[in-house]
Amino acid sequence: MRIPTLPTLALLLAFPGVARGAEPGPPPEPVPYWVDFEAGRVELDPELMKLELSRKVTIVVDRYRLTAERLTLSRTQRGVEIDGEGRVAFCPCENAPVSFGFQQAIVAPPTDLFVQGATVRVGDVPVLWTPILWLRSPDRFGLLPPRLAWRGEEGLVAGAGVHVPLAGKRGPTLSALDLGAAGYLRGGIDLETRLTTPGTSTRVRWDHLHDSLLAVDAHGAGASRDGAAAAVRVDAIRGARGLAGTLELEPVSRRWDHARATLSGGGEHVVGAIGGVATARRGAAIDAGVAAGPAAALSFGGALGAGSSADTYVEASTIRQRGQSAVTLIVHHASLSAATALGPLVLSARLDEHSVVDSRETEASASAFAGTRLAASAPLARAFGVGSDPLVHRIEPFVDAGVRVAERRGDSSEVFRALEAAPVGRVALGSAGVASALGRYGSREALELEVRGGALGDLDTERVEPALASELCADGEWVGARVESAARPDSARELFASGRLRLGRADDLHVESHVTGGRGDAPLAARTLLTDHFAGSVRPYLEQPGWSAGARVGVPWTRQLASEVAAEADATEARVLAWRAALGYRHPCGCFALLGRTGHRIGRDGFDVDVTLDLMP
Upstream peptide bond of 110 is cis (omega within 30 degrees of 0): yes
pLDDT reported for residue 23: 37
Q: How far apart are CA 134 and CA 114, in angstroms?
A: 4
The number of C-alpha atoms within 13 Å of 184 and in the hemisphere containing its C-beta is 16
Considering the chain, what percentage of its residues have pLDDT values greater than 70? 85
Query: Among residues 433, 367, 436, which one has the least CA distance to residue 405?
Result: 367
pLDDT reported for residue 420: 52
Sorted by where each begins, the domain ranges of the chain are 2-135, 333-556
Q: Mapping DSSP to helix (H, G, I), strand (E, B) and coil, where does residue 26 land?
A: coil
Q: What is the DSSP letter of 251?
A: H
pLDDT reported for residue 26: 44
**Angle formed at CA 566 by CA 563 and CA 567, multiple of 5 degrees:** 160
* Model pLDDT for residues 182-203, shown as the tens digit of each residue: 999 988 999 999 999 888 999 9
Chunk the chain into consecutive blocks of 10 residues (it has 617) and report each block's average pLDDT, rounded to whole numbers: 32 30 40 66 77 84 80 78 83 76 77 78 80 74 82 90 76 78 92 91 94 95 88 95 91 91 90 93 90 93 88 90 83 90 92 85 81 91 86 93 84 58 74 93 87 86 85 92 84 78 90 88 53 48 80 92 95 93 87 89 92 74
Q: How far apart are CA 214 and CA 241, in angstroms?
A: 8
- The 10 Å Cβ neighbour count of residue 534 is 22
Pairing outcome for strands 561-570 and 211-223 = unpaired
What is the CATH class of 2-135?
mainly beta
The number of residues in the chain equals 617
* Model pLDDT for residues 503-551, shown as the tens digit of each residue: 998 888 999 999 988 877 554 555 565 544 454 444 555 667 889 999 9
Which positions ≥6 away from 377 have C-beta within 8 Å? 345, 346, 348, 396, 397, 398, 399, 435
